[in-house]
Structures are given as C-alpha cells and as structure tokens.
Structure 1
Amino acid sequence: MSVMNRRTILGAIATTPLWLGSSAWAQASTLKISHQFPGGTVSEGDFRDRLCRMFAAEVEKRSKGSLKFEIYPGSSLMKTNSQFSAMRKGALDMSLVPLSYAGGEVPEVNIGLMPGLVTSYEQGYSWKNAEVGKELNRILLEKGIVVISWIWQAGGVASRTKPIIEPEDARGMKVRGGSREMDLILKAAGAAVVSLPSNEIYAAMQTGAMDAALTSSTSLISFRLEEVSKALTTGRNSAYWFMFEPLMMSKAVFDKLTKEQQSVVMAVGAEMETFARKSAQLDDSAVAAVYQKVGAKVVDLTPAQVKKWQAIARTTAWKDYGDKNANCANLLALAEKTL
C-alpha cells in the first residue's frame, strides 16, 4: 500500500463521526417479529398479534424511528417450532411463542407450562420479580434469549365428544397437552397424547386424529375450534393449565442495540403486560359464549377438581421435570414458593 493511500484511509477513519460506529446499524434497523397466531390489526384480532403491533408502533415512536418492525403472523416467516432456536442463533429477531415449545432443546423452559404449578394470573405474573423469574431470566439469557414481555394465559379443553373435567374423563381419549409435562399427567389419567403446535389442532380434530386439545382461551377462539368441538372446559374460574408465552428477542440482536434503544424496548415490553393480562382474562370469559353459540356443552372447573389434577402433576410431571437437571430442580423449588 502506498504512503498516500495509507494516509488517505487513516485520515478518513480519523474524521468519521463516532456515531457511525456506535449507532448506524441501529438507526437503519427493521426487526422481524414472528408468531404462529392469526394476523389482524392494532385494534382487532388475536390479542397476541395486536400486542406485537402495539409494541412495534410504540417502540418506533419512542425510538424516533430508529427501530422499525415487520410482523409475520401465522408462522408465515418460519415454522412455529423453529422460532426459539432461530432467536438463539440470531437468525430471528423477535417472537411471541409459548416457551414450553422449546422444551426439547432447553428442558428448563418447560416450567412455563407445568400443570398445577400456576393456578392464577396473580401468581403467574408474580414470577417476574420473584426468585423463580429471576432465575428463569438468567437461564434464558445464557441461552441467548431476552424476555421482553411476560405474558401468561389460562387454558381450557376443547373436545369433539364429552367435556374433560375430572382426570378420569380423559381415559381412552387422544388429547393434545401442549408440553411434555402436560402429556405426562394426561398419560397418567389414561389418555393417549398427541403432540403438535396450536395452529395444527383444527385439522387434527377435524379428521378425528385427535379427540380433545388443551390450549389457551385465545387460541380456542382464534383457531375456530368451536367448529370441530362439542364440549368446552373453560379456564375462567379455576384452571390447572397456565402457559407462559412471552414476547422475546434474540440476545445477539438486543446486544447490538444502543443503550437508549434497549431501554425503550424493555420499557414498552413491560407496559404491554397490563394489556396482555386483561386481554387473556377477557378471552377466558368470551370463549364460553363462542362455544355456547354453536351448541357446545360448556363447563367450568371447581378448585377441588383443579386439586385432583395438581395431585397427579406432583407425582408425574413435577417429579420428571425436577429430575432433569439441577437447574430444573431449583426452578421447581423456587416456583413452589409462589403457590
């Protein structure tokens, strides 16, 4: 390299504004948010899609346009079960996905759909600032995931035949549990389990490949499962099925943001939690009317019935999870403190 060329290059570097090095990437950022739920608008549709759109609009506004977002509903960007792994690798920016879907890859995350461990919204949302939430956050950060919004949803059971209320009601039925741990208590109750993401439930029930499915109240509505169901067990009064379904960001992507952008993302994410909780609880009630309208039998669980399922969970799902590794055992013990 000639002296002149070298001087020219060094001079250019020396006079380059510092902001180009620290913020140029962020200023030009358009982040992709993927999820499996039906798409809508900010004001209408599945609240999880609405939450993503509200989050995107507010972050763009507060970051003065330095962060923009593209929303990909209905698994249109990538397959549902690929999202968590893609975020860990930095191949996907953000996703709102049930954490337990990644249980095969990171066993600790199955705490997010542990039957009978969370039995109310108050308890679920208390995790964020409790020891269990801090430990779960630590593990997820180690795995390359940043939790942006804590979202909990109660679940119910849609059935093609009879309602599943007591554990013995599941005997002989083909049922979708939604996680390894849910599957374990269903097996203990005498059911045959079917594993698939919530956006594939409709087709399985329509063909008879599955008799019943446990899923969130919102999914029971959004995926139009009333069209293939004759019975519904709601989660509106009592539930043994609560799912942790956070809005998450790839840590590799988060770390590239400026401190100001990181602060905006986390602040808006926390603000979305009030909307999420209210929306989930509204859907817990709304789902009953949706199913009653088509003539399905709708039933609610009593606290005593929840305790029956919880008793099975303690000796099957909880034990299996706690035996996985030291992290799982610790998370379970910390979660039990919130009961």
Structure 2
Amino acid sequence: MTVTTRRSAMASLAALAASPLLLQSAWAQTALKLSHQFPGGTIDAGDFRDRLSRMFAAEVEKRSKGALKFSIYPGSSLMKTNAQFSAMRKGALDLSLVPLSYAGGEVPEVNIGLMPGLVTSYEQAYGWKNAEVGKELARILYDKGIVMVSWIWQGGGMASRTKPVVDPDDAKGMKIRGGSREMDLMLKAAGAAVVTLPSNEIYAAMQTGAMEAALTSSTSLISFRLEEVSKGLTTARAGSYWFMLEPLMMSRSVFDKLPKDQQQLILAVGAELEAFALKSSKEDDQQVAAVYQKVGAKVVDMTPASLKKWQTIARATAWKDYSDKSPSCANLLKLAEKTL
C-alpha cells in the first residue's frame, strides 16, 4: 500500500468514526422500557406521573450521552397494571411507576405504602426516605429484586356517585374502592362493601353503578375524568388518611448489569425529580376541587375530627392486621409510627 493510499484509508476510517450515525449506534448501548398505568401525554402536559416518567427518561438519556435510551408505555399499554411489579422482579420489565401497594399480595410488607391514617401529610411522607422506615423498606424491596429510583407520594380523596364521604358513618352500606387490603379493612369496619380494582378501572365501575365511591390520588381523580361520574368529592387539601407511595422503580437484575456510573446517574435523576412530584401532587390536591366544582359536584375537605375517627378504626383493624402478618411487617409499622 502506498503512503497516499494508506493516508486515504485512514482518512476514510476517521470520517466513518466521526459519523453521527456510527456514534449514535455506539452510544445506544441499552434500551430500557418504562411502563405505567396512567394516561399518556407529553413531557410538558398531562398527568404528572407520565410527565415525570418522560422527564426522567429525557434527562438520563441526555446525561448518559445516549448510552441509556427509553421507551415509555403509558396506560398499561405494554402489560396489565398488576403484572408490572412481578415483571420487574423477574427482569421482564425494566422500570415502572406503579402504586406500591398493588404488590401487597406478592410482598406483604409493601402494603405499608397505603396504610390508612399512618401518613397524614406530605412533610411526614417525604421524611420516610431518609428515616429508618424508608431505609428498611428500600432494603426489603432490594432483596425482592426492586430498586427504588424516585420516592413519590400522593395525597388522595374520595369521589362518589352520590354524597361526599367524610365521616366513617357516611360510608355505611356503600360499595367503595379503597386501593389496598389495609384500606379495605378500615372501610369494612366502617360498614362499607369493598371493591378491588386498579385505578384505571374505576371510571367504568362507577359509570355502571358496580361501585358507588372510590378512594384514589388527586391526580387520578383528575386524569381518569371521574368528575364525569361523580356528584360528591372529599379532597386531601386539609389532610387525608389516604396517602399513597407510588414510586418509580427499576428491576434490580437490570440495574445491576449497568456500569456503576449509569447506576448512579439513574438514582441521581430519580432523586432530583422528587421535588417535581411533591409540587405536582400538592397542585393537584387544589386543582381537583376546581375540576369537580365546575361540573356541579359537592366538594368538601377532610376535617381533623373526621380524620381522627378514621385513624381510630385503622389502628384497630388495618394496622393490627398488618402487624400480625410477620415480624418484618410489625417492625416496619413500628418504624413508621416513629414518624407520626
């Protein structure tokens, strides 16, 4: 090969190496799927949980220079809602933003993420992450194959086809969706008949009359358009016995295969987005009232006296039942009570 030919070949290789297409291919090392049950939108508009998922994906992809890429699957379009937690544990799904209590049948400890009356404010809720209870819960999840990426808490209220439900006496004889085994135990003790289904199925159940009322997050009360089938709403603006841990989680088997710097990046971005989640949750607690008032629904707030009544029932039913399940559950509850 002549010097001229060699130089020409080297120049061609250099040009090829600098090609954007080749660089893109080299950087796109890992494609990750993120699934959730909530309505899809854009990074700038829509259900904040979908927005957070898209913000997370965009920021991680940007900081990793394309080494990590994401596909977002809203509305349970990739798999059914209740299958997502188990799929992450098996490594069949990479990430999901899902109510933690949905996995209570598989990992009983996680039902503490929707324990009636145990968390009554955002300040208390977001203190869990760095408290003993949060560290122990994260450890249990990690042992079960799940990595906590973003701690997301949401306050919630109750939409009703008839009257607002404030006191326990208001729930007597009503068919109500609680959202977790523990919430259902409290509702049963108050005289309600419970209905079990994920939040994305509430609309149809209330529309047909199969269910009369539903507890869910303020964001879901808006995103699933439940005002169209409701005449009453109890909000979380003044506090609530319904606070749900709804984190962004990742499969440990997938996470562990990533280089250390990419693992740290995922956790860093996840932690940064918790401030957005808190702000959005509080905004939705306010917005939900306006949405329901606009269509003529009667909107009320939870009172401190009513909250105490629900807490009293919860302690004797849900808390006791959870604590009796195992030493692990009893320990988690004890640690959580320290945050009250």
Give the TM interval when normalised to the shorter protein: over 0.9
Distance in 2 between residues matched to 1:101 and 1:335, nearest whole Å: 19
| Contact 1:26 1:256 survives alignment (8 Å) | no
| Contact 1:254 1:262 survives alignment (8 Å) | yes
Aligned in 2, Cα 1:170/1:25: closer, same or farther, shift over 3 Å?
farther
Counterpart residue number, 1:16: none
Distance in 2 between residues matched to 1:305 and 1:51, nearest whole Å: 33
Per-residue CA deviations over 1:5-47 (Å, capped at 9, x if unaligned) read: xxxxxxxxxxxxxxxxxxx999511100000000000000000
What secondary structure, in the 3-state scheme, does the structure 1 residue paired with 2:305 have?
Answer: helix
Distance in 1 between residues matched to 2:56 and 2:304, nearest whole Å: 35
Distance in 1 between residues matched to 2:73 and 2:188, nearest whole Å: 35
Superposition deviation, residue 305 in structure 1:
1.0
| Contact 1:26 1:258 survives alignment (8 Å) | no
What secondary structure, in the 3-state scheme, does the structure 1 residue paired with 2:156 have?
Answer: strand
Counterpart residue number, 1:299: 300
Per-residue CA deviations over 1:289-316 (Å, capped at 9, x if unaligned) read: 0000000000001111111100100000
Counterpart residue number, 1:309: 310
Counterpart residue number, 2:65: 64
Q: Does 1:281 find its partner at 2:282?
A: yes
Distance in 2 between residues matched to 1:330 and 1:26, nearest whole Å: 45
Counterpart residue number, 1:12: none
Superposition deviation, residue 218 in structure 1:
0.1
| Contact 2:151 2:271 survives alignment (8 Å) | yes
What secondary structure, in the 3-state scheme, does the structure 1 residue paired with 2:185 have?
Answer: helix
Counterpart residue number, 1:131: 132
Counterpart residue number, 1:179: 180
Percent of aligned pairs with the same amino acid? 79
Per-residue CA deviations over 1:119-163 (Å, capped at 9, x if unaligned) read: 000000000000000000110000000000000000000000011
State how many pairs are aligned: 316
What letter corresponds to residue 317 of structure 1 in structure 2?
A
What letter corresponds to residue 121 of structure 1 in structure 2?
Y
Per-residue CA deviations over 1:248-299 (Å, capped at 9, x if unaligned) read: 0000000011001001100000000000000000000000000000000000
Distance in 1 between residues matched to 2:187 and 2:45, nearest whole Å: 35
Normalized against structure 2, the TM-score is what? Answer: 0.92
What letter corresponds to residue 291 of structure 2 in structure 1?
V
What letter corresponds to residue 211 of structure 1 in structure 2?
E
Counterpart residue number, 2:223: 222
Counterpart residue number, 2:22: none
Distance in 2 between residues matched to 1:262 and 1:106, nearest whole Å: 24
- Residue segments in structure 1 that go unaligned for 5+ positions in a row: 1-23
| Contact 2:53 2:72 survives alignment (8 Å) | yes
Distance in 1 between residues matched to 2:76 and 2:132, nearest whole Å: 33
Distance in 2 between residues matched to 1:26 and 1:313, nearest whole Å: 51
Counterpart residue number, 1:212: 213
| Contact 1:176 1:214 survives alignment (8 Å) | yes
Counterpart residue number, 2:265: 264
| Contact 2:37 2:98 survives alignment (8 Å) | yes
Counterpart residue number, 1:51: 52
Counterpart residue number, 1:33: 34
Distance in 2 between residues matched to 1:64 and 1:144, nearest whole Å: 27
Aligned in 2, Cα 1:238/1:284: closer, same or farther, shift over 3 Å?
same
Superposition deviation, residue 238 in structure 1:
1.2
| Contact 1:97 1:247 survives alignment (8 Å) | yes
Counterpart residue number, 2:202: 201
Normalized against structure 1, the TM-score is what? Answer: 0.92
CA RMSD in angstroms, aligned pairs only: 1.1
| Contact 2:27 2:65 survives alignment (8 Å) | no
Distance in 1 between residues matched to 2:174 and 2:305, nearest whole Å: 23
Distance in 2 between residues matched to 1:68 and 1:274, nearest whole Å: 23
What secondary structure, in the 3-state scheme, does the structure 2 residue paired with 1:129 have?
Answer: coil
What letter corresponds to residue 292 of structure 1 in structure 2?
Q
| Contact 1:26 1:257 survives alignment (8 Å) | no
Distance in 1 between residues matched to 2:107 and 2:264, nearest whole Å: 27
| Contact 2:27 2:66 survives alignment (8 Å) | no
Distance in 2 between residues matched to 1:303 and 1:275, nearest whole Å: 28
Distance in 2 between residues matched to 1:303 and 1:265, nearest whole Å: 39
What secondary structure, in the 3-state scheme, does the structure 2 residue paired with 1:77 have?
Answer: coil
Runs of 4+ deviating beyond 6 Å: none
Counterpart residue number, 2:144: 143
Superposition deviation, residue 66 in structure 1:
0.2
Distance in 1 between residues matched to 2:27 and 2:310, nearest whole Å: 48
What letter corresponds to residue 287 of structure 2 in structure 1?
A
